[in-house]
Structure 1
Amino acid sequence: MDIQIEYRTPYMVVYLSGEVDLHSSPSAREVILDCMKKKMPLLVDLSGVSYMDSSGVASLVEGYQAARKQSLDFALVAVAQSAMNVLKLARLDKVFPIHASLDDVV
């Protein structure tokens, strides 16, 4: 998995790519929660995700919960079909705000 962070005022954008699984999801979780400490709204771009398991989903849920506690926006952007399948299976596609592209939000 690869993680990149970009500032696109007023948002922080975390780009996840590759496999977000039991091995790599702790890194995703750490980055997402560290970004929440900056008290900025967060977008997580999943366009490059080739595989996501439940541990990856759990990392997103933790970030979403942390954002809600701080009254900050948290949304998923450009969700790859592989990740969307997992989100739909868990019915989280109804919970997370999901946008088709970064341009739709920024």
Structure 2
Amino acid sequence: MKPPPRAAAVCVAAITSQHRPNVLPLKREIDLHVSPAVTESLNAITEEKPERIVIDLSRATYIDSAGLAALILAMQKVQAFGGKFFLAGLDETMSSIFETSRLNRIFQIFPDVDAALAAI
């Protein structure tokens, strides 16, 4: 898997770790300016067709429609090959965005990464 693009450093922490494979932690604002880097990171992960991907949003402070679109497209790709796509760690602001857009009905959302990984 290739590393995330340099521009992604604004929002993407690390794609995987030895102990938590297929966990993508995002941080700060996920907006029009950084969503292309998020999309590129997600594409790199989904190319390998993992059984599951967990998006850790515990350090994200905001997501706009471009960021939501990146997550939706990635979820659709993962579901197309039979994988699972989970979101984890949404704070009150992020939860409100997903509830207002009704995307909380589309995504499987967990309180934290550990809960998402345990659900698999």
Q: TM-score, normalised by structure 1?
A: 0.91
Report the identity percentage.
26
**Distance in 1 of aligned mates of 2:56 and 2:77:** 18
Per-residue CA deviation, residues 7-63 of structure 1 (Å, 9 max, x unaligned), is: 467840000001100101111111112101111110000011111111111110011
Higher gyration radius (CA): 2
Greater than 3 Å deviation, 4+ residue runs:
7-11
**Distance in 1 of aligned mates of 2:64 and 2:57:** 13
Q: Between 20-29 and 6-15, report the one with greater CA deviation.
A: 6-15
The corresponding residue for 2:24 is: 14
The corresponding residue for 1:35 is: 45
What is the aligned counterpart of 1:56 among 42, 50, 67? 67
Specify which structure has the higher proportion of strand: 1
**Distance in 2 of aligned mates of 1:91 and 1:35:** 26
The corresponding residue for 1:2 is: 11
What is the aligned counterpart of 1:70 among 65, 72, 81? 81
SS at match of 2:71: helix
Structure 1 unaligned regions, length at least 5: none
Aligned residues: 106
Are 2:35 and 2:67, in contact at CA under 8 Å, matched by a contact in 1? yes
Structure 2 unaligned regions, length at least 5: 1-9
